[in-house]
Amino acid sequence: MAPESSTPLLNGQPWLSIVGIGEDGLAGLGELARQAITEADFVFGGKRHLELAGTAIRGASRPWPQPFDSAMQAVLVLKGRKVCVLASGDPFFFGVGVTLARQLSKQDYRVFPAPSAFSLAASRLGWALQEIETVSLHGRALDLIRPLLHPGRKVIALTSDADGPAQLAKLLTETGFGSSRLTVLEALGATREKTRSTPARDFSLSQVDPLNVVALEVQAEITARVLPLGFGLPDDLFEHDGQITKREIRAVTLSALAPRRGELLWDIGAGSGSIGIEWMLAHPSMWAIAIEHHPERAARIRRNAQNFGVPALQLIEGKAPDALTGLPKPDAIFIGGGGSGDGVLEAALAALKPGGRLVANAVTLEMEQILLNAHSQWGGSLTRLSVDRAEPVGRMTGWRPAMPVTQWIMRKPED
């Protein structure tokens, strides 16, 4: 129950206050933020947040449930009452503010941000935030760091717990980045704040505070698994059984798919997953669904997604067109030779958003005939792609042609 003295809110007045709080507690908050905590009928937050704000709380303290309710229904059902949500640092930088804002109008809430862990770390190190990479690994796959590991770059990563820095050092060492300098910044803003540095391969720090961020100065050995920017990554970076869109064709295919930020790709007949993986590497907002019915290839796609740092690649084990039922509508679709069964093109075009792009590749005469018929029926463009590679011919070298690829590109008309 809310306190009996609760004062009803006026129409249009924000009922929710989202307050970012640091490890320095109330001392680091402005007057309005402290007032929002004190006047709230209900104050939500983690146990640590509620302790930090303890002397200012007059209403009912509500620690987050375990497991955490990402929908935050306990907050939303109190709409119209005075509610305060406490968050770490900046609530809109990998914080609960983002989750709440998606479900509310801007008139429902007001926000009092504090410096994020990334800002505090950069200030301690003297690093310019706009010149470095930042990533949250809190409750997320450690593999997300992989695309950011380029020699000479600096990265700040938010970890989940006391074991996070050691796990990150292990990944760096195993992938050829063991000489990178790893700086662990613990309990930023608290009286127990501490900063320690070590090469990743020599990591032996003990009693690491669970509240930490890790700053990386990336150095790569010659064997390091560096993921280049741009399309057409080397084939040997992928685990595959030969069922892979080859590097040169993949680069042209992704160019034809024309990725845009925030878009969804269907990769039908995904094989090794290379198209969907490179699509997601183009920008963190991109997402992809790989459809593959062959169990061994599906397992291979999962491993490739992990090794390329895109663990969020969604995999559907099934055969198109049946496996496409119920999937979110895509902005772009790629159909490889393995996804060319009866009815696949029709189902793909029906699902494609208006204005979306469909690209299909054929290496067999049978699939080529399907694309010729599709071009005749729906328009678009046809291109024949061929690649010759220099290979040994006895003691000399000659050109050996790869199988030519027929590519059909089609843009679905707007409604």
Instruction: Output the pLDDT for position 37.
Output: 97
Cβ atoms within 10 Å of 211's Cβ, excluding its own: 21
- The string of DSSP codes covering 255-320 is HHH---TT-EEEEET-TT-HHHHHHHHT-TT-EEEEEE--HHHHHHHHHHHHHTT-TT-EEEES-T
Tell me 321's DSSP state.
Answer: T
Which residue in this structure is represented by tokens 């003691």? 395
Residues with Cβ within 8 Å of 374's Cβ and at least 6 positions away in sequence, in order, are 345, 360, 380, 408, 410
CA 207 remoteness from chain centre:
30
Which residues of the chain fall short of a pLDDT of 70?
A: 1-12, 338-341
- Note the pLDDT of residue 13: 84
3-state secondary structure of 330: coil
Specify the amino acid at residue 368: E
Phi/psi for 21 (5° steps) reads -130, 135
At 217, is the secondary structure helix, strand, or coil?
Answer: strand
pTM assigned to the model: 0.87
Q: What is the spatial distance between Cα 318 and Cα 339, in angstroms, rounded to a whole number?
A: 11
- Report d(CA 330, CA 351) in Å as an integer: 7
Q: For the stretch 173-197, what's the b/e string if a residue is b when 16 or more beta carbons lie within 10 angstroms of its beta carbon? A: bebbbbbbebbbbbebbeeebeeee
Matching residue, tokens 């770390």: 121
- Enter the CATH code of domain 235-411: 3.40.50.150
Q: Distance from first CA to last CA of the chain, Å, rounded?
A: 51
Is 16-114 a domain of CATH 3.40.1010.10? yes
| pLDDT at residue 272, rounded to an integer | 94
Whether 236 contacts 223, CB under 8 Å: no
Q: What CATH class has 118-217?
A: alpha beta
Compute the CA torsion angle 212, 213, 217, 221 (nearest 10 deg): 70
Q: Where do the structural domains in the chain lie, given as residue ranges?
A: 16-114, 118-217, 235-411
CA distances (Å), origin 105, targets 13, 74, 76, 222, 313: 12, 17, 12, 51, 31
Q: What is the pLDDT of residue 4?
A: 44
Asked if 99 and 86 touch (Cβ cutoff 8 Å), the reply is no
